[in-house]
Amino acid sequence: MEDEIKQTEIPKDKPEFEKKLEEMKAENDRMEKNIAEIKELKAFDALSGKTETGQVKEKPKEESPSEYSERILSGKLEVN
């Protein structure tokens, strides 16, 4: 659990503190850019129909009794 959270030690002197602050701001900007990119990709997927939530599974075709008997008598024992 401790490995998941990145802990940084607060520097005592001002120049080192400002350096760490700039590093953290740069990391934050990078993460915000990644989040924006992910949102854009998800929107593209949603508009192109690639998302799972917008898809409807196609129902298998039901066999009529005559089709069933023909399939069984011909020896094609496929499981649907």
Write out pLDDT tens, residues 25-43: 999 999 999 999 999 998 8
Dihedral class, residue 75 (left if φ above 0, else alpha if ψ from -120 to 50, else beta): left
Predicted TM-score (pTM) above 0.75 = no
Number of structural domains in the chain: 1
Q: Are 5 and 11 in contact (CB under 8 A)?
A: no
* Residue 45 counted as domain residue: yes
| Position 1 confidence tier, pLDDT thresholds 50, 70, 90 | very low
What is residue 51's predicted lDDT score, i.e. its pLDDT? 63
Mean pLDDT of the chain: 80
Structure tokens at 17: 């503190």
61 vs 3 pLDDT, higher one = 61
Domain that holds residue 15: 11-53
8 vs 60 pLDDT, higher one = 60
* Residue 31 counted as domain residue: yes
